[in-house]
Amino acid sequence: MLLHIENLLDAATVARMRARLDAAGWIDGRETVGLQGARVKRNQQLPDTSPLRTELGREVLAACARHPLFHAATLPVKILPPRFNRYADGGSYGAHVDGAVMALADGTQLRSDIACTVLLAEPGNYTGGELVIEDTWGEHAVKLPAGDAIVYPASSLHRVEPVTHGARVAAFFWIQSLVRDESRRRTLLQLDTAIRQLDAGGADGAAVKQLTGVYHNLLRQWSET
Ligand code: NI
């Protein structure tokens, strides 16, 4: 499931983050990937230990926590602190699959069910840089307004096209979901969306309650931590 989340960050927040990021010290992005990624990754990142990464990452996660669609779509149990990357001067990231298991600072591990990219550059300000995601329906090229996010399965083959003009700056991170199976997550999101619509449309209260019970009973059956 590819999901476009609009206005995760407002324009003022994006501008403030960009001012800090544009003045930051970037390093070669190959320092944070395994062998498969290093062969195809040509971009820059903030160092993992950068205080700016920690500060802005927390801000991104706070915005995610406030966004009802983000929560309903991902059902997060663990989130890797966001990293920030920059593609310019022909930089790209060839086709790859993200690592399945990632280490967290507290010594625990995260299973990367879902990947999320939050765009911090307006599409008109750079050329190329599409995130291309392959799924069973083919390839999807994604280029979104600054402040918007794309949520997609970390298991999918994906790439970032070369940025031939300007710079593409983004935050990215992975989520371990309470519900590991993607089709089940999609079912829960569809049910949640339908319940909200029925409720907003003044549908029969008892029926809405019953459907809400079905949602929670499915979540109970399918969730794992
Ligand atoms: Ni990736």
Cα 191 to ligand 1 centroid, rounded to whole Å: 29
Whole-number mean pLDDT of the chain? Answer: 94
Asked if residue 83 and residue 70 are part of one domain, the reply reads yes
Report yes or no on whether pTM surpasses 0.85: yes
Q: Among 98-107, 114-123, 163-172, which is the least confidently predicted range?
A: 98-107
Cα 76 to ligand 1 centroid, rounded to whole Å: 19
pLDDT at 87 over 90: yes
The CATH number assigned to the domain holding 124 equals 2.60.120.620
Asked if residue 195 and residue 103 are part of one domain, the reply reads no
Question: What is the DSSP-derived secondary structure letter of residue 32?
Answer: G
Each residue's pLDDT tens digit, 9-23: 999 999 999 999 999
Asked if residue 17 and residue 119 are part of one domain, the reply reads yes
Asked if residue 124 and residue 196 are part of one domain, the reply reads no
Share of the chain above pLDDT 90, in %: 89
Asked if residue 102 and residue 199 are part of one domain, the reply reads no
Asked if residue 78 and residue 132 are part of one domain, the reply reads yes
Cα 158 to ligand 1 centroid, rounded to whole Å: 6
Asked if residue 39 and residue 73 are part of one domain, the reply reads yes
Question: What is residue 47's predicted lDDT score, i.e. its pLDDT?
Answer: 93
Strands 149-153 and 109-111: unpaired
Question: What is residue 199's predicted lDDT score, i.e. its pLDDT?
Answer: 93
Cα 80 to ligand 1 centroid, rounded to whole Å: 13
- As for how many domains the chain has, the answer is 2
Asked if residue 104 and residue 12 are part of one domain, the reply reads yes
Cα 72 to ligand 1 centroid, rounded to whole Å: 22
pLDDT at 36 over 80: no
Cα 33 to ligand 1 centroid, rounded to whole Å: 10
Tokens of 166: 């300007």
pLDDT band at residue 32, thresholds of 50, 70 and 90?
confident
Each residue's pLDDT tens digit, 127-182: 999 999 998 889 999 999 999 999 999 999 999 999 999 999 999 999 999 999 99
Question: What is residue 200's predicted lDDT score, i.e. its pLDDT?
Answer: 94
Question: What is residue 29's predicted lDDT score, i.e. its pLDDT?
Answer: 86
**154 in Cβ contact with 98 (< 8 Å):** yes
The CATH number assigned to the domain holding 201 equals 4.10.860.20
Domain extent for 207: 182-222
pLDDT at 102 over 90: yes
Dump strand ranges (E) for the chain. 3-5, 27-28, 41-42, 44-45, 76-79, 83-88, 92-96, 101-103, 109-111, 114-119, 126-128, 131-135, 138-142, 149-153, 158-160, 163-177
Cα 110 to ligand 1 centroid, rounded to whole Å: 15
Asked if residue 201 and residue 95 are part of one domain, the reply reads no
pLDDT at 121 over 80: yes
CA atoms in the 13 A half-sphere facing the CB of 190: 7
Cα 106 to ligand 1 centroid, rounded to whole Å: 23
Cα 95 to ligand 1 centroid, rounded to whole Å: 8
pLDDT at 38 over 80: no
Share of the chain above pLDDT 70, in %: 99
Asked if residue 102 and residue 203 are part of one domain, the reply reads no
Question: What is residue 126's predicted lDDT score, i.e. its pLDDT?
Answer: 98
pLDDT at 7 over 80: yes
Cα 159 to ligand 1 centroid, rounded to whole Å: 7
pLDDT band at residue 89, thresholds of 50, 70 and 90?
very high
Asked if residue 186 and residue 164 are part of one domain, the reply reads no
Cα 173 to ligand 1 centroid, rounded to whole Å: 9
Cα 116 to ligand 1 centroid, rounded to whole Å: 9
Average pLDDT over residues 50-72: 96
Cα 115 to ligand 1 centroid, rounded to whole Å: 8
Distances (CA, A) of 138 to 126, 128, 133, 141: 25, 19, 8, 10
Cα 204 to ligand 1 centroid, rounded to whole Å: 44
Question: What is residue 207's predicted lDDT score, i.e. its pLDDT?
Answer: 95
